[in-house]
Structure 1
């Protein structure tokens, strides 16, 4: 069983997938930082606040034992108050769009590079092989 597991792990596809997951997680952290630390503060400033992710709508009564700020989204949410955190949701949508766009650009660049690279390993096409066979048979 250990041998089978080692063979499974040693396969190229599994290793490629593991590397992709690790790089993807690190890349997602970069995009999250870009969204949370650069883009959303600018958007928040436009809409009148510096922390856009803290915009929310209070949907019901605050628990009686809550004594914190009525404008602190995180504290209200932690206390169990019914809040609709639309600012945090919008932040996640912006983060997703940025990540999707960057992945789109990377795939587009990779596809372009693959089209330009000559495919030396492919060899002749079926038509080219048939033409060679026909020509060789004509010569004999």
Structure 2
């Protein structure tokens, strides 16, 4: 059983998947930094009010009077739609980057296909060559001579 598990775990697909998950986690941190450190400050500057999506929430009970999300969560139930907006921006950035990566890979594949030399004609075997000669001789006999 251990031998089967080791064979399964060391298959190329499983190892590739593990590498993809690890790279995805690192990429997630990069995207989070891009959103929180680059895009959100630009959005705040554009709106001229210093918009901070992280503290946007709707209280679900009258007991919530706090102005920050963390304090509001301590007071009662809230819908943190600002966090959702940030997550949606993260998703759009990841989707856009993955689109560009797939587009680039497809372009490289198309270039490789265009630059690929034509395949040589398949080698004709001796029996096919003999049959072709017989066919040609029979066709010549069938034609009337002029």
Residue aligning to 2:78 = 83
User: Would the aligned equivalents of 1:56 and 1:87 in 2 still touch at CA under 8 Å?
Assistant: yes
Displacement of 1:50 = 4.8
1:70 to 59, 66, 70: 66
Q: Provide the residue aligned with 2:138 in structure 1.
A: none
Higher RCO (Cα < 8 Å, 6 or more apart): 1
CA distance in 1, matches of 2:70, 2:52: 12
Q: Which ranges of structure 1 fall in alignment gaps of 5 or more residues?
A: 64-68
Gapped runs of 5+ residues in structure 2? 135-146
Corresponding residue pairs, total: 127
Q: TM-score, normalised by structure 1?
A: 0.76
Q: Which residue of 2 aligns with 1:45?
A: 45
RMSD over equivalenced CA pairs, Å: 2.9
Q: Which string of whole-angstrom CA distances, capped at 9 and with x for unpartnered residues, describes residues 93-139 of structure 1?
A: 111000000000001101111222259xxx949xx54xx549x6236
Larger-gyration structure (1/2): 2
1:1-140, aligned counterparts within 5 Å?
A: 1-47=1-47, 48-62=49-63, 70-77=66-73, 79-118=74-113, 124=119, 128-129=121-122, 132-133=123-124, 137=129, 138=132
TM-score of the superposition, structure 2-length normalised?
Answer: 0.73
Q: For residues 80 and 3 of structure 1, what CA distance do their matches in structure 2 show?
A: 54
What is the CA deviation profile of residues 81-104 of structure 1, one whole-angstrom value per residue up to 9, with x for unaligned ones? Answer: 232222111111111000000000
